[in-house]
Each structure stands twice: as C-alpha cells, then as structure tokens.
Chain A
Amino acid sequence: MKLNIVVLAKQVPDTHNITAQAMKEDGTVNRAALPAIFNPEDLNALEMALTVKEEYGAAITVITMGPPRASQMLREALYRGADRTILLTDRAFAGSDTLATSHTLGLAIRKIGKVDIVICGRQAIDGDTAQIGPEVAEKIGYNQITYVEQIQKIEKNSITLFRNLGRTSETIRTKLPVLITVTGTANRPRSFGAKYMMRFKKARTWLEVADEIRNATGGTTYAEDYVQDQINRKCADMKKRGLLIETWSSAELKVDASSVGFAGSPTKVKKIESIVLTAREIKTVPPTDEGIKSLIKELIEEKTFV
C-alpha cells in the first residue's frame, strides 16, 4: 500500500513569543518584527504523516500558500522527510479569508490527483480560526475528522483514528479518503534529519533560482534570453534531482479571480484595535491585617461569597 498524503502547512509570525523588540512604543505589536515560523500544529500534522510513511509507506506532499519567502518553511519540511513541496504564491491570493484560502488549497489538492489523506494542523497561531481544515474538506468533498491525536490503523480503504474533544474522546473508523486536523498534543515533532538536510539544503523555488542566477550574472552584463535560458536549465536539472520546490500560481491552478483574494472573501476586516490597557479605578488595599480584614468584610457585606 502506498498512500498519497498531503500536509497543509502555513508560515506564521511567532505570536506566542513576543519579545520586547517586537513591541512598538505605543504598546502594540510590530508584526513585521516577529520571526516567521512553521505553524506549530502543522508540524504535528507533518509528524503524523511521517509516522504513517514509516509504518505503511507513503508519499508526502507539503503544500503552503503564502509569499515567496514561505519557501523556507518548505525546505524545513524536506529536512524532516517530506517528499515533495509546493508553494502556492500569487499576488491574487493576497487578502484571502479562510473561504478563499480553502478554495485555492482545494484546487491544489485536486491538481495533485489521487490523495488518500489530507492532514492539517488544527489551527494557525496568527488567526486561531481552525476553519481551513473543514472548509478544504468541503471544497474537495472529503469527510473530515477534527482534533485527531492518533492514527491507530490504516487498512485498505479505511482508517481508525483517536480524537480528543475535551471531555469526550472517540475512536472512529471511517473510509478513505479523509481530511484530518491534528492537535498540538498529538505527538512531538521530530527535528531535522542530517541526511535530509544534506540532500535538500540546495532545494530552491524557481524564483530563488532566478534571483541567484541574476545576482551571479550581474545585472545587465548578459542578454536577458541567455539569463532566462540559464534559469530554465538550472530548474529543469533541479527538478530531475528532486530539488525544485514547485511554485504554483493562479495560472497553474486555473483560479477564477473572483474566488480568491479580497474578491473571493466574504469576510472583511472592519476595524483592528491593538490591545491597550486602560486602568480601572482600583482600590488599593494595604497588605496588613487591618487592610485585608476590611476588604474581606466589604466582600462579605456585598454577598460576594454566596
């Protein structure tokens, strides 16, 4: 059995570790100053895919939608053992909400062809919506199982999963294909493998190859068609060696412009407010016997404890 697995991943600003450098003077967060990281629960998703690959044999494709620099995250996926990586990048995708994003991701999964299992992190730490998984599942017509902690068994056309819904937990057997979302408690993502790092440290996107060749050929010294030819040759060679991070734009995906970006997003951001603390009127209580006695007395009189 060789399974085809797609892992959906996102590069996110590290909102959980906001340092003083990332704070502006007015007390709000400077998002540009936050480091870009592999969304934590997407690493749990990749780890789950890698475990399946080890046990049953699978080809893992990692897809991300984002700006060109998200290629770094895809290299990291290769360093952990992913087989193929695809960057969905296009200005037309900018401003997509979850519905528009799931439209693009769904088209990419369909373009790949036969996919048995799609695995996503439950949610991304920049938006915390947890909506992409279910919306992609609907888009591609797959069943969905959310909050998965473990894949227990895969048989021909069926999969047994353990999911954690807080107070309730379930062991479910369902049919393939399926989309699952994975929680941070599912596993401990592995770090980079030395042999994968050696093999993929030169993995590049078309755009990165082009930049490197243009830098090396020094601006206007060479004719443009020569430079283009060099880029194409290099990319063809890298593709043969499995080192090309594929880049799909709206043209490759045959995206209808009205379904992506701002135009394809039903939700609009009306207002963003940075959190600024406003002080309440506060009663200061001295940490003395008398101070605390009178506080407790006041609370009892106001029937706070009843």
Chain B
Amino acid sequence: MSDKPSGKSSVCVYIESQHGGVAQVSLELICRAREMAEKLGVSATAVAIGTGLKKFSPSIFSYGCDTYFTVEDKRLDSYETIPFSRALAAVFRKIQPQIALFGATPIGRDIAPRVAGILKVGLTADCTDLAIGDYEDPKTKKTYRDILYQIRPAFGGNIIATIVSPEHRPQMATVREGVMKLGVPDKSRKGSVVPFAFKFAASDFANQIIKRAVSQREVDLTAAHVIVSGGAGVGSRENFKLIWDLARAIGGAVAGSRAAVDNGFIEPEHQVGQTGTTVRPKLYIACGISGAIQHRAGMEYSSKIIAINTDPDAPIFRIAHYGIVGDLNVVIPKMIKAYKSKG
C-alpha cells in the first residue's frame, strides 16, 4: 500500500454528517469499502465536507478507513449542493479513487449526481449490492479487470440489474441504507487525517436557509432487532392493535407493508419495502403480508422471518424461515401467550 497517503485508486466513501454525527450508512459503506480495498490491494479512503470533521475520525478509522480527507470552511455548516459538490469533485480529481460510494440518502442522492455531472462519469443509484469482477464489452470484446458491479433493483423492483462503468473513474454508486452490514469496529485501528484546501467563491453560497426543522425520530425501524409487521390481511386499523400487542409483548418495533399504509392501518413512517425503509432485524414477523416484490426488497435480509398468512401460496412463504398457515387473529394471541409463559 505504497500509495496510501495519496488515496490514488482507492475505494472512497463520502462521509455524510447527520444531526452532528456520522450517518450510519457512511460507516456501513466504510466496512464494504474496506473489504473491496483488500481484494483490490488498495487503500480505503473517506472524504467529508463541513465543519468540525476531525471528531469523526476515530469512528471512521475503527471501521476500516486508512486516509480521511476533510474540507472545512465555516460556511459549510449545513449541506448546500454547489459548494459541497464542487469541493468533492476537486478532492476526487486530486486523489483519483477508482470507486466512490455514497449513501442513498436524500443528501447522497443530491450530491452524487451533481458530482457525476461535474466529472462526467457514470453513477448508479440506490444499489442494494456491490461486487468486484471482470467485464467483457460485448461489442469490442475488450476485457476490463476488477470492475465494480453495481447491483440494483429497477423497473419497480421487478428486475435486478448489474451496471458497470468500465471506462470512467471513479466508478460511482449510491447505496441503500441498511443493506451493507456494519462490521465490528476495531478501536486500535489507526489512519491519517488529511485536510484538503479548497477555495470557494462567494457565489457558491446562493442558498439562505430561512428555517430548518428536524423532527424527532419516533420510528426507527433500522435499529430494531425485532420487527412485527402487518399487511392488508390485518383487515383494519382497529385490528392492527394485534400487531402492536405482539410487538409490545416481545419487545419489537411495529411496521407495515405498503398495502397497510395505503389502507390507513398505519402511518407511512412505519412502511417497510422499496418505497419505505429497508430493514435487517434478527427477527421479522410478517402478519397478513402476501410478500409483493416491493415489500420483500425491504426485509428479505432479515436473519429470521416468520410468515403468518391464510393463503399457503402467498409469496412471503418462499422467503420465510418459519411458515404458519393460519389466521393471524388466532395465531398472534397464541404467540403472545406462549412468549409470556416462557418469559
């Protein structure tokens, strides 16, 4: 790793700050970048833009970053597209990473395409998997070694596409939150912080924030170990009480499918699936959920899935580890009773 300080050809992660800390997805991506960097024999780097960035370094290094580039300016207190994207593009031009990863958050999906536009490189949105492999161009028959496979659902989740950018660097992708596993931090890992000087123009700062409101996160499905989720089969908002009861009994969070949200059984912030949150809890109990592709996309990586459905042919049973063909109105009370008597 002789090129370690420069970051040349590294696997680089854009570090997003959220509410004064590092966004969890940025740390997930560092873990994945670490794995890919080892495979490629290069370093893992990170770039952050803003103020007070040095305090993030212990956690960034502990997850596997070697070199952490920071761009600081007191005007960078809150995210704004033009200055952030210009500075990030300048860092990429300087350090020339081969891969650049962003969380597919609202901010990640605002800055990444802008940077791709500045650098005129490819970008794949909202990936659910990444891999390294070779690519042969079907027309020229030219083979490209160690290319980033950017894997994502498309077409409403009905297909999975593998996208490559063989000729352009960096190969850029935004990656959905929660799909890359957060590894165990190693507090003894060391790295270097490299401040990067960028000259901003006064005209870069065109936005004036009149008001910013941050709502309390009442529903945090991504952090839940156990999730009880209801679908159309629950039947009504009143009957959704059963889902809440089971969740309360076993100490889980409550979620719903798109059908449950659309029917008003539960609020949209509880939605799991392609248009909602992606979760990977230790246990996911799907009650009265048929298992449409859009829903499965948000929960299929749960460690254990229990499906309760009256229809034995429901697609949810194909990804479940435990299947209970039966009426949730009967099954759920039995589960609560069984859990309480064992506890």
Which among B27-35, B51-59, B178-186, B206-214 touches the partner chain?
A: B206-214
A245 to B145, CA, bound (A): 47
Check B287 for interface membership: any CB of A closer than 8 A.
no
Which residues between 6 and 53 of chain A lie within 8 Å of chain B, taking CB atoms? 13, 15-16, 18, 28-29, 31
A289 to B342, CA, bound (A): 13
Given A29-B155, A131-B123, A268-B166, A280–B319 Cβ distance below 8 Å?
yes
Q: Which interface residue of B111, B153, B324, B331 has the most chain A CB atoms within 10 A?
A: B324
Which among B156-164, B190-198, B230-238 touches the partner chain?
A: B156-164
Q: Which interface residue of A279, A289, A304 has the most chain B CB atoms within 10 A?
A: A304
Q: Are A266 and B165 within 8 A (Cβ)?
A: yes
For B342, the chain A residues whose CB sits under 8 A away are 293, 296-297, 300
For B210, the chain A residues whose CB sits under 8 A away are 160, 171-173
Quick one: which of B126, B315, B327 contacts A287, CB cutoff 8 A?
Answer: B327
Which among B3-11, B37-45, B92-100, B102-110 touches the partner chain?
A: B102-110
The 0/1 profile, CB within 8 Å of B marked 1, for residues 264-284 of chain A is 011111111111011110111
Closest-CB distance, A155 to chain B (whole angstroms): 13
Which among A82-90, A109-117, A142-150 touches the partner chain?
A: A142-150
Given A99-B123, A174-B208, A270–B117 Cβ distance below 8 Å?
no
Check B1 for interface membership: any CB of A closer than 8 A.
no
For A266, the chain B residues whose CB sits under 8 A away are 120-122, 165, 167-168
Check A198 for interface membership: any CB of B closer than 8 A.
no
Check A214 for interface membership: any CB of B closer than 8 A.
no
CB-nearest residue of chain A relative to B82? A143
Given A172-B209, A278-B318, A268–B117 Cβ distance below 8 Å?
no
The 0/1 profile, CB within 8 Å of B marked 1, for residues 252-266 of chain A is 000000000000011
Which residues between 198 and 218 of chain B lie within 8 Å of chain A, taking CB atoms? 206-215, 217
CB-nearest residue of chain A relative to B293? A275
A28 to B165, CA, bound (A): 26
Check A205 for interface membership: any CB of B closer than 8 A.
no
Q: Are B122 and A169 within 8 A (Cβ)?
A: no
Check B22 for interface membership: any CB of A closer than 8 A.
no
Given A275-B160, A282-B323, A292-B334, A134–B110 Cβ distance below 8 Å?
yes
For A280, the chain B residues whose CB sits under 8 A away are 318-321
Given A168-B214, A305-B226, A296–B339 Cβ distance below 8 Å?
yes
Closest-CB distance, A294 to chain B (whole angstroms): 9
Interface size on B, residues (CB 8 A): 84
Closest-CB distance, B322 to chain A (whole angstroms): 5
Check A229 for interface membership: any CB of B closer than 8 A.
no
For A168, the chain B residues whose CB sits under 8 A away are 212-215
For A299, the chain B residues whose CB sits under 8 A away are 283, 304
Interface size on A, residues (CB 8 A): 76
Q: Are B114 and A31 within 8 A (Cβ)?
A: no
Q: Are B162 and A282 within 8 A (Cβ)?
A: no
Q: Are B163 and A268 within 8 A (Cβ)?
A: yes
Complex A-B: 29 CB contacts under 8 Å: A98-B123, A99-B117, A131-B116, A134-B110, A134-B111, A135-B116, A135-B117, A138-B85, A146-B110, A171-B210, A172-B207, A173-B208, A267-B123, A267-B163, A269-B163, A273-B161, A273-B162, A279-B318, A280-B320, A282-B318, A284-B322, A284-B325, A285-B323, A286-B326, A287-B327, A287-B334, A288-B334, A295-B324, A296-B342
Residues of A whose CB lies within 8 Å of any CB of B are 13, 15-16, 18, 28-29, 31, 97-99, 102, 125-135, 137-139, 143-147, 160, 165-175, 265-275, 277-280, 282-289, 291-293, 295-297, 299-300, 304-306
